[in-house]
Amino acid sequence: MRLPASKKVLREDVKGAPSWIIPLIDTLNGFMETIYQAMNFNITFTENISCQIKEITYITPSTYPVGVDAVEFTSSLRIRSSGLWLLQAVEKQTYLPPAGPVYIPWTENAGMITIGTIAGLAASKTYTIRLLLI
């Protein structure tokens, strides 16, 4: 859906209206301008959508995928999480992504997010994992 061409109410549109309408029009136009700008490809996850971006350092032992400790962090969301998206996974030293698809098993219990063994990584490496909790 395209945004409408009309972005504001002009004073000429309400000729003959009482003088108290002018502050109302100014307030309405300010609100409409903010919404128009947001809807014009300016909505962001961190400012407009209830979410949490979390970056973790994930170390895989030589025995990977066995022997990996679970990672826990507290959700900052006011509601129970509905999803955990992988935004980026890169090896910390080379900044290269892992070769295979990465899968992140997770659970939430009383606002605590627990991540199990992340699949698709290589053994004996340190990764930077960026997540989006929604």
| DSSP-based three-state secondary structure for 106 | strand
Residue type, 48: N
**Cα dihedral sign, 92-96-99-101:** positive
Domain boundaries, the chain: 9-43, 48-133
pLDDT for 90-133, tens place per residue?
999 999 999 989 999 999 999 999 999 999 999 999 999 999 99
User: Residue 4: its pLDDT value, please?
Assistant: 82
Q: Rounded to an integer, what distance in angstroms lies between the CA atom of residue 127 and that of residue 97?
A: 9
SS3 38: helix
Listed in sequence order, the DSSP H helices in 1-134 are 21-39, 45-48
Give the separation between CA 56 and CA 120, rounded to whole angstroms. Answer: 16
Q: What DSSP character marks residue 14?
A: G
pLDDT in tens, 6-36: 889 988 888 888 989 999 999 999 999 999 9
Tens of pLDDT, residue by residue over 56-87, are 999 999 999 999 999 999 999 999 999 999 99
